[in-house]
DNA sequence: ACCTTATTGCAACTTTATTGCAAATACCAT
DNA sequence: ATGGTATTTGCAATAAAGTTGCAATAAGGT
């Protein structure tokens, strides 16, 4: 664990929203932390491998976002199509469905992604 | 409707799997249909606007895929992590959940994406 | 056939992400 | 602390997906 990685981790800890690589880069530079964009990519990759961070690929965003996994329960997201705000959904209705799918398709399911989009209260 | 657009549409009609822009380009060229990659992108965009085609952004693929919407019911997908095969799931367990989310978050939900990944019968 | 409008191809460009390599930093044993 | 090894970082170059501007071509109506 280097100071650069600590800085990325600390940023993710104090940020509610899942951040993209560019956002991590920009925010750290605002805080006078010198970090290369390549290092951001490599760092989130390492943190993901270590199981500390989750990678999110939200529909039609065309980029990856990263959020802290540490101590968080399995959850999903809803994104506002106007302002881009991302809110956590502390539910998952897919346990039974997963079993049904395994029966119907003969796949072994090992993951799923679920995301909602819509209009947040402010943008309605 | 031009012959180029007909060719893309016809390809999507006879293909089971959702295709990426590059795949559409490659397959049409194999069939001696001269089409520019840019035109593929513009065509699928138009077909999407017309409501004929659905855009899929599957998790961690890093590209968009397109499938025919025409006459198909709302559905989701499961993708094999080994061979990349994509199979349709003719179910959607999210109607009640959507209402719950609208109550909890005050968002107006207008869409969702749901995708499963795992191992297909052949790759297990 | 003619004229207008929409579509296509080419080239250049944008954005997100990855790779190679040399320099800098962290870690460990002494 | 000091030195040596392995890891990490920054820079430059590159890759891949997708977009934009513009001139040339094709489509459609009268």
Both tokens assigned to B79: 């993708």
Within 8 A by CB and 6+ apart from B17, the residues are B67, B85, B86
* pLDDT at residue B60, as a whole number: 86
Does residue B44 reach within 7 angstroms of strand C, measured from its CB? no
DSSP 8-state code for residue A87? E
Describe chain A by its helix, strand, coil percentages, rounded to 5.
40, 25, 35
Report percent pLDDT > 70 for chain B.
100
Sign, Cα dihedral of B77, B98, A84, A86: negative
Q: What is residue A1's predicted lDDT score, i.e. its pLDDT?
A: 83
- Report the candidate in A101, A103, A30, A120 with the shortest Cα–Cα distance to residue B105: A120
What is the mean pLDDT of the segment spanning A108-120?
A: 96
pLDDT of B8: 97
Dump pLDDT digits (tens) for B65-97.
999 998 899 999 999 999 999 999 999 999 999
Strand C contact at CB of residue B35, distance < 7 A: yes
pLDDT per residue as tens digits for the range A50-87: 999 999 999 889 899 999 998 899 999 999 999 999 99
What's the pLDDT score for residue A110?
94
Does domain B1-72 fall under CATH 1.10.10.10? My reply is yes
pLDDT at B51 over 90: yes
Domain with CATH 3.30.1490.190 in chain A: 74-124
- pLDDT at B71 (0 to 100): 83
Provide the pLDDT for residue A70: 84
Confidence of residue B16 (pLDDT cuts 50, 70, 90): confident
CB atoms A57 and B59 under 8 Å = yes
For the domain spanning B74-124, the CATH number is 3.30.1490.190
B18, B76 contact by CB (below 8 A): no
Q: Is the CB of B41 under 7 A from strand D?
A: yes
Look at residue A71 in the predicted model and tell me its pLDDT: 83
Q: Which residue is nearest to nucleotide D27 (CA to C1')?
A: B2
In the structure, how far is the CA atom of residue A1 from the C1' atom of nucleotide C28, in angstroms?
Answer: 15
What value does the mean pLDDT of chain B take?
95
């Amino acid at each position: 664990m280097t100071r650069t990685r600590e800085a990325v981790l600390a940023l993710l800890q104090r940020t509610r929203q899942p951040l993209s690589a560019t956002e991590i880069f920009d925010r750290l530079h605002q805080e006078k932390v010198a970090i290369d964009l390549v290092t951001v990519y490599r760092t989130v990759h390492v943190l993901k491998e270590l199981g500390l961070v989750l990678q999110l690929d939200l529909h039609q965003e065309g980029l990856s976002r990263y959020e802290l996994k540490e101590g968080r329960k399995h959850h999903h997201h809803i994104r506002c199509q106007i302002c881009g705000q991302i809110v956590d959904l502390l539910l998952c209705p897919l346990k039974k469905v997963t079993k049904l799918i395994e029966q119907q398709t003969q796949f072994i399911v090992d993951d799923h992604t679920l995301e909602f989009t819509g209009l947040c209260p402010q943008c309605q």
